[in-house]
Amino acid sequence: MSWYRNTVWFVKGLREYTRSGYESASKHFNSADTEVNVAGRSFLVTGANSGIGKATAIEIARRGGTVHLVCRNKERAEVAKGDIVTETGNQNIFLHIVDISNPKEIWTFAEKFKNEYKLNVLINNAGCMVNTRELTEEGLEKNFATNTLGTYILTTALLPLLEKEADARVITVSSGGMLVQKLNLSDLQSGNGPFDGTMVYAQNKRQQVVMTEQWAKAHRNIHFSVMHPGWADTPAVRSAMPDFYQKMKNSLRTEAQGADTVVWLAISPEATKLPSGLFFQDRQPVPTHLPLASTHSPPEDEKKLMEMLEEFSQKFKSTSPG
């Protein structure tokens, strides 16, 4: 069945996830949806120094938003901030150096951020695909630490700030790869059996979909969404999936095309007319499971994931300064 899921996902991807899929879908976009002035609204974008995160930050900055860039590498982040200010003329761009794979750093950052800023929209874009099993200094498997636990902690920590604002939103950048994975609670840190970085990443992305659905149920006055950007030509794809990149490079979306739905979800009045908790591709909600794929999980497993992540997160909060 996994062979079937992978094959269906790849064929679907060749049709929909490439640049031609975006060009086809975009014929039906309403340009007015993103012709929005967001001056006075505050946006936080993780992984914002390159790729889809940077492209998202640029489009929000163009429309007058205050943008908080959360990046791991100070030098690259400062270059990205300069690029964004130069390209958009928007001076309200703030830089925060945080490693999203480090839960203690995230807690410390979030507590400080809550005391100094307001927040209308959180965009969880930072992610990684490490193809060998690496542990962080906290002893966490790196993909899980970044993609799942980091996203969980940052969102959870900032929810009280978002709850204070009108039209608050949380957008998480996931992947169509999650379609080949069923939620697996027995091995969250991929310590059993052979390690396949691509499938670990896909499992993390399934976890992000489940988190989004659970948050949407629990926090009714915040609009949650999760999305697939398609297959875009980003530094992350080039470094993490070199074989895929070589095969597909002439068909990949641009970074701006990959970011389009993130921007739409972050700023468009139309996005929040749709229910909270949905999975999007090219400005449309799409199914979170392939036909006949057997990737559905019982509700108790989805609740259990949140309980497990909360337990993880509190362990690191209790030892963080402040």
Give the closest residue to 95 by CA, choosing from 84, 108, 107, 103. 84
> How far lies 320's CA from each of 104, 112, 145, in Å?
5, 12, 16
The structure tokens listed for 101 are: 């794979």
DSSP assignment, residue 180? G
DSSP assignment, residue 44? E
Q: Which amino acid is at 71?
A: C
The structure tokens listed for 256 are: 């701006």
Radius of gyration for the chain, computed over Cα atoms and rounded to the nearest angstrom: 18
Positions marked active-site: 201
DSSP H or E segment with residue 173: strand 168-173
Distance CA 82, CA 219 (A): 36
DSSP assignment, residue 189? T
DSSP H or E segment with residue 71: strand 66-71
The structure tokens listed for 56 are: 């998202």
Q: Which amino acid is at 311?
A: E
> How far lies 200's CA from each of 15, 141, 165, 192, in Å?
24, 10, 35, 12
162 touches 168 (CB < 8 A) = yes
Distance CA 145, CA 223 (A): 24
